[in-house]
Amino acid sequence: MLQTFETRSRRLFATLTALALLLASGCAVMPPDARFESREGVVRADGDAQAEAVGRHLDALYPRVQELLPDTVRRDFEVWVQEEPKLYLFAGPSYEEADGFWAEGPSRIHLRESAASLERTLAHELVHASLGDSWSYLPGTLEEGLCDWVSAQLVPRGAAEMRAGRLSAASFATGGLEFDVELSGPRQDGLDVTVGARVLLTGDVSQELSPEEVFRVKAGLSTTRLPAGAKKAYYGLSYLVVERVIERRGLNGLHGMCLQAERRGLDEIPVDWLLRAAELDGAGPEEWRVAIQEALGPEEVRLLVHAYPELLRGTLRRFFEGLPDDVEGAHNVRATVRIPGTAVAVPFGA
Ligand SMILES: [Zn+2]
């Protein structure tokens, strides 16, 4: 009898706890105060000016996203700009790292107020909100790469920043990014001295991953728990694949593979089709590393050198180690950073 009571009260406790959690997690956040009705949808933000600014971006971007992509759907949705983008007050899906997300259930785009570019993040989420069913044949994390690619096309200002971040994250998780740093400057005797070094930038990612996992892991889903570094790396690898496929076969080529997979009754595009289309079907991880290096342009290199000043500083220290009397000459030192195996060479005045 006692045992039955205990079991019963334990069950009751468990039920009440589950109910409390359900109530707490189901408690939706209140919409932000300010409201702007744009042509394409309602935008809510903390202030009128911000709601209106995002509304203008929405009106400009939504038709262009719809026009650019094959197989889109038009939905009624709202855009909420929040300090912390979230759906529920207490629990729910985790978007801690995200600058925004698309929530299909309530049909809403959530944006982080402090996003590097609200305009580009909005473009990215508008792609999620616009993709028709045929796009669901993209495997793993690839939809994220497509969203990033479209956002870079439609919002070119600052796109290099996004590319530098995505591609460096991908490279840090797959062996690091190589640079050739060359320093030259005059000595006191007037002679020019030049030193060069190959520098491997490994960032702050300790975990290495296999690039082809990008076709399996769904890093874009809030339910996929990943360390932040790995998540960024998957987004980067996804961007790389999508960009390479579109460069070679166009956006219609990428979508065509979705249609072909659908016609053949497959669940998603086979990995080897994508590898072939991206010309990554050869040697394995080393080939991916080279592809990442090749994707970096001068603007991305400039941004990375500023983000990781040690890249130049370490070489500078070595430069002056060899020239102890010439330290005053530091302002005359010229630096050039190159990406090995490419024509990219970026000059820096030290
Ligand atoms: Zn996304």
Query: Can you tell me the mean pLDDT for 9-28?
Result: 60
Residue 160 has pLDDT above 80, yes or no: yes
pLDDT at 33 over 50: yes
- What pLDDT is recorded for position 32? 93
Q: Which of 131, 164, 189 is the last residue in one of the domains?
A: 131
For the segment 291-299, the average pLDDT, to the nearest whole number, is 95
Residues 234-250 have a mean pLDDT of 98
* Ligand 1 midpoint to CA 147 (Å): 6
For range 147-159, the mean pLDDT? 96
Ligand 1 centre and the CA of 124: distance in Å? 6
Looking at beta carbons, which pairs linking 100-107 to residues 24 or more positions away fall under 8 Å? 100/124, 100/125, 101/125, 101/128, 101/222, 102/128, 102/129, 106/28, 107/75, 107/76, 107/77, 107/78
More confident residue, 279 or 183: 279
Are 153 and 119 within one domain?
no
pLDDT classification of 148: cutoffs 50, 70, 90: very high
Does the structure show a pLDDT above 50 at 1?
Answer: no
Residues 122 and 79 in one domain: yes
* Three-class HEC string of 77-144: CEEEEECCCCCECCCCCCCCCCCEEEECCCCEEEEECCCCCHHHHHHHHHHHHHECHHHHHCCCCHHH
Regarding whether 174 and 90 lie in a shared domain, the answer is no
Query: Does 195 share its domain with 124?
Result: no
Q: Which of 96, 113, 131 is the last residue of a domain?
A: 131
What pLDDT shows up at residue 239? 98
Q: Are 231 and 184 contained in the same domain?
A: yes
pLDDT score recorded for residue 233: 94
Q: Residue 184 C-alpha to ligand 1 middle, in angstroms?
A: 43
CA of 145 to the centre of ligand 1 (A): 8
Average pLDDT over residues 36-56: 97
Q: From ligand 1's centre to the CA of 13, what distance in Å?
A: 39
Query: Are residues 121 and 177 part of one domain?
Result: no
For residue 335, the CA-to-ligand 1 centroid distance in Å is: 37
Q: How many domains does the chain have?
A: 2
Three-class secondary structure of residue 48 per DSSP = helix
Tell me, yes or no, whether 111 and 179 share the same domain: no
Q: Tell me which residues have their CB within 5 A of the ion that is ligand 1.
A: 144, 147, 220
Is 115 inside any structural domain? yes
For the chain, give the mean pLDDT: 87
Q: Which of 164-168, 231-235, 329-333 comes out lowest in average pLDDT?
A: 329-333
**How far does residue 17's CA lie from ligand 1's centre (Å)?**
33
Arithmetic mean of pLDDT, 246-272: 98
Question: Is residue 15 one of the residues assigned to a domain?
Answer: no
Report the CATH number at residue 62: 3.30.2010
Domain match, 192 and 229 both: yes
Residues 182 and 329 in one domain: yes
Give the integer Cα–Cα distance in Å for 344 and 326. Answer: 30
> Using the 8-state DSSP alphabet, how is residue 28 labeled?
B
Q: Is residue 263 part of a domain?
A: yes
Domain that holds residue 95: 32-131
Mean pLDDT of 116-122: 95
Q: Indicate if 234 and 306 belong to the same structural domain.
A: yes
Residue 71, in any domain of the structure:
yes
Give the residue-averaged pLDDT of 278-301: 91
Does 122 share its domain with 267? no
What is the distance in A from the centroid of ligand 1 to the CA of 64?
A: 18
Q: Residue 350: which pLDDT band, with cuts at 50, 70 and 90?
A: low
Which of residues 112, 131, 150 is at a domain's end? 131
Confidence of residue 325 (pLDDT cuts 50, 70, 90): low
Q: What is the pLDDT of residue 319?
A: 72
Residue 162 lies in a domain: yes
The SS3 assignment for 166 reads helix
Start-to-end CA span in the chain (Å): 83
Residue 156 lies in a domain: yes
Alpha helices, DSSP H, located in 173-321:
228-263, 271-277, 285-295, 298-307, 310-321
| Average pLDDT of span 79-90 | 84
Per-residue pLDDT at 184? 86
DSSP 221-264: STT----HHHHHHHHHHHHHHHHHHHHHHHHHHHHHHHHHHHHT
Q: What is the reported pTM?
A: 0.87
Q: In the prediction, which pLDDT does 17 show?
A: 59
- Domain match, 268 and 164 both: yes
In a domain, 53, yes or no: yes
Q: ∠168-170-171 over CA atoms, to 5°? A: 65
Ligand 1 midpoint to CA 144 (Å): 5
As separate numbers, helices (DSSP H) first and strands (DSSP E) second, the chain gives: 10, 9
Residues 28-34: contacts with CB under 8 Å, at least 24 apart: 28/87, 28/88, 28/89, 28/106, 29/82, 29/86, 29/87, 29/88, 29/89, 31/78, 31/80, 32/80, 32/81, 32/82
In a domain, 21, yes or no: no
